[in-house]
């Protein structure tokens, strides 16, 4: 497939994901500060773990251009980009303050069972499978925040959740810096690796990459399901 075909094929997979029962449930939970705190702590684990997974993909990949693009991506996530001078974990810590969390509570967060399972799963898919499969699995999760792709369905994950925080808890964009950043930054990140899929995920590798991408979306849905079920246990 060429870049356009990869975009369309993976885009439909993401659209199916955002319409899934798990995501409907995730976005149906009425947001309160204690419930929002659950999301912040689990998201901090997710964000930190992705750094390990991208490192696995880079380590498995012999292509210098792919390694360079991963480093570019990770510099923006860990060091500095248009949204933070300290990396995206800093944005989560600042957002946590809005719901009463101290930095150490976020940094020492305990994973929910579903979170632990999906983090193990992403570790496996990025370290034990080929770099092409790992690349597909990682890059498609960025697409879940792409408003260009999901605008007619209410927006990507970060945009939709930002609206909930503002409508249901009265927050401003300033109080939700992580959601604000990812409602915009992942549009760029969605496009970064399409050229490499087009060039290297050919022949039998094409289906392997698509299967890995679908599994990754399944992991993502399970992650959101775990958060929603934990939030439901907290009285609104």
pLDDT tens-digit readout, 137-153: 999 999 999 999 999 99
Q: What pLDDT score does 89 carry? A: 83
Q: What pLDDT score does 182 carry? A: 61
Of 224, 228, 142, the residue nearest 188 (C-alpha): 142
Q: What pLDDT score does 35 carry? A: 98
Residue found under tokens 């810096």 = 177
Q: What is the DSSP letter of 174?
A: G
- How far apart are alpha carbons 120 and 49 in whole angstroms? 10
Residues 6+ apart with CB under 8 A from 100: 33, 37
- How far apart are alpha carbons 57 and 152 in whole angstroms? 32
Torsion of CA 9, 211, 22, 127, to 10 degrees: -120
CA dist 35 → 5, 96, 185 (Å)? 39, 12, 25
Residue found under tokens 């945009």 = 159
Q: Report the b/e string of 159-186 with b at 16+ CB within 10 A.
A: bbbbebbbeebebeeebbbbbbbbbbbb
* Domain 3-232, architecture per CATH: Up-down Bundle (1.20)
CB 94 within 8 A of CB 163: no
Residue 190 or 64, more confident: 64
- How far apart are alpha carbons 143 and 196 in whole angstroms? 16
DSSP, collapsed to helix, strand or coil, labels residue 62 as coil
Q: What is the pTM assigned to this prediction?
A: 0.93
Q: What pLDDT score does 183 carry? A: 59
pLDDT-wise least confident of 40-49, 54-63, 88-97, 204-213:
88-97
pLDDT-wise least confident of 119-123, 183-187, 194-198, 224-228:
183-187
Domain ranges of the chain: 3-232
**The two three-digit tokens of residue 113, written as one number:** 């069972």
pLDDT tens-digit readout, 169-205: 999 888 888 777 765 655 566 789 999 999 999 999 9
pLDDT tens-digit readout, 8-56: 999 999 999 999 999 999 999 999 999 999 999 999 999 999 999 999 9
DSSP, collapsed to helix, strand or coil, labels residue 145 as coil
Residue 81, CB-side half-sphere exposure with 13 Å CA sphere: 23
């Amino acid at each position: 497939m060429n870049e356009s075909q990869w975009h369309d094929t993976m885009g439909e997979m993401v659209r199916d994901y955002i319409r899934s029962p798990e995501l409907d449930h995730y976005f149906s939970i009425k947001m309160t500060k204690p419930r929002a705190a659950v999301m912040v702590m689990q998201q901090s684990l997710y964000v930190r773990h992705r750094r390990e997974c991208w490192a696995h993909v880079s380590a498995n990949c012999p292509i210098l251009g792919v390694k360079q693009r991963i480093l570019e991506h990770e510099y923006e996530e860990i060091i500095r980009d248009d949204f933070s001078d300290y990396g995206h974990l800093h944005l989560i810590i600042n957002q946590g303050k809005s719901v009463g969390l101290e930095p150490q509570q976020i940094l020492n967060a305990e994973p929910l069972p579903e979170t632990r399972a999906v983090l193990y799963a992403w570790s496996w898919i990025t370290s034990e499978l080929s770099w092409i499969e790992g690349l597909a699995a990682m890059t498609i999760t960025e697409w879940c925040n792409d408003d260009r792709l999901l605008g007619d369905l209410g927006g990507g994950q970060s945009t939709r959740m930002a609206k909930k925080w503002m409508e249901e808890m009265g927050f401003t964009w300033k109080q939700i810096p992580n959601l604000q950043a990812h409602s915009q930054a992942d549009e760029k990140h969605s496009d970064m690796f399409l050229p490499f899929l087009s060039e290297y995920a050919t022949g039998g590798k094409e289906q392997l990459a698509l299967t890995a991408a679908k599994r990754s979306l399944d992991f993502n849905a399970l992650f959101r399901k775990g958060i929603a079920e934990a939030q439901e246990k907290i009285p609104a």
